[in-house]
Structure 1
Amino acid sequence: MQHPHPLRIFKFGGASVKDAAAIRNLCRIVQEHSAGPLVIVVSAMGKTTNALEAVFQLAFEGQPYEQALQQVEEFHLSTAIALLGPEEVGEETDSQLLRIRNWLRELRTALAAIDSQAGYDQQYDQVVSYGELLASQLVYEVIHRQNELPPAVRHWRWHDARRSICTDETWREGKVDWAATQAQLNRYQEDEHAAFAHCITITQGFIGGAPSVPVPEAYLESTGRQGWQRRTTTLGREGSDYTAAIFAYCLNAESVTIWKDVAGLLNADPKIFANPVRYPEISYQETIEMAYYGASVIHPKTIKPLAVRRVPLLVKSFLDPGAEGTRIHDCRHGLLAPAFIRKTNQCLISFESKDLTFISEENLEVIFGVLAQVRLKIHLMQNSAISFSVCTDFSPYRLEKLLAALREQFTIHYNTGLELYTIKNYDAASLRRLTHERELLLEQRTRQTFQFVCRAVENEPGQLL
């Protein structure tokens, strides 16, 4: 017999917690749409991740970062005061803000410990992850004071995702240890007070925890934490969707709902393309392919764990919570409207053999090995007799490492400032729409997908493709 109030997962992205008004709206959605237990996965507020990236970069380069850090601190504290007591900045408000201030103190400690001679990616994770910790803490402090618990739920609970989502040490893109994660979540389920089935739980997207290490004494004194602590990892930019899917898989959730600022899963980003079309329903397979090519609504790793458990994914608008949205599930459908996807800040890299020999399997093995080592992801590739070209995201740091490793063996040319366009389920009209008057540097076509790389073109203000 099915439980009358099965567990559901709600994920709220940065736009849905961008300020005090947005967080109040989140509270209303939870109050109106939660009859039973719920896990609420929260992203960093607004553009906080970008801001923390900038602060970290300054600290890593040994540059002054105090002013940039103060802007992050003031933004979170002013939002907290607006939500928890705009007219009372006394002891009660101080008590309510204590946990927020503690996270900000820890952030300062992490920044002070940055060593420019140590690993960039690992230290990045220890700093940028505070966006999610701050946002989830603030949402928890507000929601459990302003919302009533549904009759089927016993507790409100703030949960540190780093204690349950276990990853390896692939910094900035932690690989989930599914067996360890399942075991950790099972332990919570055995605790009457902490069981997700009895709570509305607020937790963080984007972050996980690598195996524990001893913590320096100075850090212990400043934070009051235990002598061993899991090291923070991140799951990749926009990885909060993936977090929701991990919880859904391990906790056998009934559904996952991603709350966005759009009407559902659209065939194009409305900020870039005019007249986008909403898909009322779409299959797991189609969604995986769109996410792989760079569709911004869903993180690429989100769908697989949901498809394995047959957990439907709902994409709904937090601006219009009652609207239908999109249902992603195991379904069949006819021909879909063409999907338009754009990736910016791309780099086209071409490798040529120096002695004019063919690009052989042995050459490709070397190139692929170094691309994997420097962690440059291939979005498009093409080879000819004596050259091999790839399109990747542009990262000066990773590109320089690639050049250093391969320039002795290959002649390498690269272009930056490019865009990669993908049309899924293309037709003649959609091809004309995107390729008109563009110089295509590289193109590739299959039965259902057309991709091309071109130079970035600045549109007129307000003009959509």
Structure 2
Amino acid sequence: MQQRQFLRIYKFGGASVKDAAAIGNLVRIVRQYGADQALLVVVSAMGKTTNALEALFQLAHAGQDYRAPLAELAEFHQGVAAGLELPADLLTDLLTQLQDRLATLLPADFDKQYDQVVSFGELLATRIVAGALGARWLDCRALIRTDHTWREGRVDWPTTERQLRAALPAAVLAEGPVVTQGFLGGTASGATTTLGREGSDFTAAILAYCLGAQSVTIWKDVAGLLNADPKIFPDTVRYPEISYQETIEMAYYGASVIHPKTIKPLAVRGIPLLVKSFLDPEAEGTRIHDCRHELLVPAFIRKTEQCLISFEAKDLAFISEENLEVIFGALAQVRLKIRLMQNSAISFSVCTDFSAYRLERLLDLLREQFTIHYNTGLALYTIKNYDAASIQRLTAGRELLLEQRTRQTFQFVCRGEEPS
């Protein structure tokens, strides 16, 4: 392993840069807690900008009028920049590039063009944050090399590490904070890719792995890594420390604090991940590292907008390995991720994130061979380290459409109602 640099990575998500006041708070945190050593700051799109860009992209791709929401998006970012007393023309080139992208969309290559448009959220946010900090702005698209898997680019680790170390030697990092984008990468030909929704955490881990950072700190609006989302579940508990393995499992099942791909590169090089609150920077937070602990309190995880799809062979044959191979191949082809699966003698069911576009493609591929039923508007609940009381708490009064348990994990799919 290469020698670890005197470097920390700070990652700030959308809530921490949602407006001028939030960015002012980010500036205070960086200057107070990140001034004593080299610092690389990873920034997500502001607030709900990614959602707004997705809506813009859908309108433009469908040939509909998008001028009003585009103007609203531009006005919002320009207003934040003005509130921070930044130059009036700071965002002009990026907004012009975004307008040009939207005006030249083609009917084909939906996912590729999605990446070229939605990536502007991080580009705009980092320009503003770098300006507010008086920091160097770094375009990570030229440095984090991926393949052409649009919307979930696969990282070319050797090339990425070589390029990052060349672009950010210790001498450059010692000059002051460097601000770059989360969520984004680029192909060898220069096309923009994205790393998957909420992928800025993963970006921070990529940078830490490649540059040999001492630590990564993710600044959130919660006190640390909690056993549940406090917006959904009352009486949450903070984990003061937790192991890489336990965190990977929680992230895989949908815990919203950490992106699922974040932990592995940090664990490989023994880099601790700190989860701290930007609302209370002095608070302890959570340390994720290589540690041992007793059985943790149950963790409650909810994923909404789920779809339950069931397949039956039209000839009433058993669900065989050959049938499963066809189903898995089609799911991979349309890029629907399986969150939960279960089979019986003549049927096979999967729970996936809902996408009308991808579901229709799946039906086109498989409807001749299988009878397919599906339900949308569902929720998938996972209880990690469950006990009888935690299962009773979440399942009481609900109609479970599918349930499954292993030694430490209980999952079920139900209608998408709020928990009591």
Residue in 2 that maps onto 1:167: 146
The answer to whether the Cα contact below 8 Å between 2:330 and 2:362 also exists between their aligned partners in 1 is: yes
Structure 1 residues 350 and 178: alpha-carbon distance in aligned structure 2, compared to 1, 3 A threshold? same
- Is 1:349 aligned with 2:328? no
Unaligned runs of 5+ in 1: 85-92, 145-155, 213-229
Residue in 2 that maps onto 1:422: 382
The answer to whether the Cα contact below 8 Å between 2:18 and 2:47 also exists between their aligned partners in 1 is: yes
Counterpart Cα distance in 2 of 1:61 and 1:98:
31
- Is 1:9 aligned with 2:34? no
Residue in 2 that maps onto 1:111: 102
Residue in 1 that maps onto 2:128: 138
After TM superposition, the structure 1 = structure 2 runs for residues 374-385 of structure 1, keeping only pairs within 5 Å, are 374-385=334-345
**Please, what is the CA RMSD of the aligned residues?**
1.5
After TM superposition, the structure 1 = structure 2 runs for residues 51-200 of structure 1, keeping only pairs within 5 Å, are 51-84=52-85, 96-115=87-106, 117-144=107-134, 156-190=135-169, 192=171, 195-200=172-177
Structure 1 residues 363 and 277: alpha-carbon distance in aligned structure 2, compared to 1, 3 A threshold? same
Counterpart Cα distance in 2 of 1:167 and 1:188:
17
Report the residue type matching 1:120 in the other structure: F
The answer to whether the Cα contact below 8 Å between 2:5 and 2:214 also exists between their aligned partners in 1 is: no
The answer to whether the Cα contact below 8 Å between 1:188 and 1:196 also exists between their aligned partners in 2 is: no
Counterpart Cα distance in 1 of 2:158 and 2:326:
33
Of 366, 370, 395, the match for 1:435: 395
Unaligned runs of 5+ in 2: none
Report the residue type matching 1:133 in the other structure: L
Counterpart Cα distance in 1 of 2:239 and 2:218:
15
Residue in 1 that maps onto 2:30: 30
The answer to whether the Cα contact below 8 Å between 2:378 and 2:416 also exists between their aligned partners in 1 is: yes
The answer to whether the Cα contact below 8 Å between 2:302 and 2:382 also exists between their aligned partners in 1 is: yes
TM-score by length of 2: 0.97
Counterpart Cα distance in 2 of 1:191 and 1:235:
26
Report the residue type matching 1:340 in the other structure: F
**Cα offsets for 1:157-211 (capped at 9, x unmatched):** 110010110000000000000011011112114595xx33544100000000012
Structure 1 residues 426 and 179: alpha-carbon distance in aligned structure 2, compared to 1, 3 A threshold? same
Counterpart Cα distance in 1 of 2:380 and 2:170:
49
TM-score by length of 1: 0.88
Percent pairwise identity: 70
Counterpart Cα distance in 2 of 1:308 and 1:402:
36
**Cα offsets for 1:130-178 (capped at 9, x unmatched):** 000000000011111xxxxxxxxxxx31100101100000000000000
Counterpart Cα distance in 2 of 1:130 and 1:197:
28
Counterpart Cα distance in 2 of 1:276 and 1:299:
20
Of 365, 368, 387, the match for 2:328: 368
The answer to whether the Cα contact below 8 Å between 2:4 and 2:213 also exists between their aligned partners in 1 is: no
The structure with the larger Rg is: 1
